[in-house]
Amino acid sequence: MSVSPQAQEIWDLIKENQKGLKELRESQRETNEGLKQARALFETQWGKLMESLVEGDLIKILNEQGIEVINTHTNVKHRSEKDGYEYDILAVNGKEVVVVEVKTTLRVKHVKYFLEDLKKFPVRLHHFKDFIIYGAVAYLRAEEEAMRYSEKQGLFVIRATGSSASLVNKKGFKPKVFS
């Protein structure tokens, strides 16, 4: 069976169009993958920056609150099928530990999750089980209710500002012991 020259031309254009669409889809997939990798890198670096802003003044802030911090540990994490966890910053002395959750934007849901996570801390890191455990949230921006909620739950509330951090709890604030 013979095909007219116009029909063959249309058929060739359809094949060429399909090939072009396939190449476009592949290019979009590669672009999407590259964007995902770039986003993950940015978020990782941004998180490290936020933690550095807070950690830089953390010892001074806690010392002013009567917790004589000797050292800090960042990105304390463990991955397992049963119970993976990550703690952004631990400020430690021989008898007390302050567990710090760092967020760019602090929301109430983050605080609730952190409080649940904080309950598991002495079991997960059992060498701290006999320590007095305090909690703290640190942020760049926060929803107003998140700040109030955090303080009502007995957490230190720390705001990262520029190249430093400062405590924003009300005068006379007494932190809750979580151990």
**pLDDT tens-place string over residues 106-161:** 999 999 999 999 999 999 999 999 999 999 999 988 988 999 999 999 999 998 87
41-167 under CATH 3.40.1350, yes or no: yes
Report CA-CA distances (Å) from 49 to 141, 164, 168: 14, 11, 20
pLDDT tens-digit readout, 61-98: 999 999 999 999 998 888 876 778 899 999 999 899 99
Neighbours of 72 (CB within 10 A): 18
**Residue ranges covered by each domain of the chain:** 41-167
Quote helix, strand, coil % in the chain, to nearest 5.
Answer: 50, 25, 25
pLDDT band with cut points at 50, 70 and 90 for residue 30 = confident
Contact, 76 vs 115, CB < 8 A? Answer: no
